[in-house]
Amino acid sequence: MTPNAIILRSITTEYNQALRQRGRFDIWISEEIINHWQHDERVYDGTSSSVKYPDSTIEACHYIRLVYKLPLRQAQGLIESLLTKLGMASLQCPDYTLLSKRLKQLNLTVPRFRKHEKPDDKIAAIAIDSTGLKRLGKDEWHQEKHKVNAKRSWRKAHFAVDEGHFIQSAVLTDKNTMDDQVVGTLCQSIITGVEHVSADKMYDTNAVYQTLDAHFPNAEIVIPSKDNTFANEVHHPKRMSNLIGCFALGIIGWQSVRQYGKRNISETAMQRYKKIIGYTLHSRKIENQSKEMLLGCSVLNRFTKLGMPNSYRVA
């Protein structure tokens, strides 16, 4: 066996082990969460009482629900069975109605979990893109039979993904929200410096360039020009540079020089979300759907931390 074959086999073995690790229950219910699963001693002040289940318990239940693609009632049954198997019959799973009500109350604004516990000093590259997630409702057969417009049943998920495949920021909007309208919201969640920002031509507006330049003044902004865009003194300087570069080098040559291929990490993230978490939102209200999407992104980040394949060109 050649040295290259030995290295390739070692990498494959490590990645396969990482995939197996993703299915282990001890990833999702850690000892810290179990120790603070519920508060049996509650305080009553005459108007209300302290919560029985902290946010960490609600999050853990929804993580399990998303990973195993279960409705709330089935997720409750699985967790109750799991607690019994662990010899913790004194602990209870929150009722499915409580899980639904508490979802929108979770203090979750950005996807959790990164490669390191401490914030990154600098992010090498960020790719921004959006995809559609289907709302709970009528399926394709019903839409075709009754001539229902399928576009009414979709939400739009906007992702900002770093070079290590970690989703740094995510926002859920209705289907009518344009991609360039949420760039500012995505950037607000990223507090570290960024060296390279890429997006497709739908983000080619002066407003987007101004927003990105304000948040990441030292970043290289790589966005191809829209069709029929001409030089104009009102364009942002970095937008003007990209416009001239596309004209001088051709779109393929410009993409190669400016490393536009880094944008593929956002496409990969969206494909992974739909394959692992699913392309359908289970919740009915947009407040819950937004939290559900952020929890799904957190699951993907946790999976990414466990292990990803090492991809590189061999020829």
Q: Is the CA virtual torsion 137, 141, 145, 150 positive or negative?
A: positive
pLDDT at 291: 96
Greatest Cα-to-Cα distance within the chain, rounded to the nearest angstrom? 75
Residue from 92, 84, 79, 107 nearest 52 by CA = 92
pLDDT at 102: 94
Q: Provide the 3-class DSSP secondary structure of residue 107.
A: coil
Residue 151: count of CB within 10 angstroms of its CB: 10
Residue 184: count of CB within 10 angstroms of its CB: 15
> Residue 200 gets which letter from DSSP?
-
Distance CA 125, CA 265 (A): 10
Ranges of the chain with pLDDT below 50: none
Does an H or E element contain 198, and which?
strand 196-198
Query: Each residue of 91-112: pLDDT tens digit?
Result: 999 999 999 999 999 999 999 8
pLDDT at 155: 92
Distance CA 64, CA 75 (A): 7
Q: Could you tell me the pTM of the whole model? A: 0.85
pLDDT at 148: 64
Distance CA 165, CA 126 (A): 9
Domain ranges in the chain are 3-103, 122-296
pLDDT at 18: 81
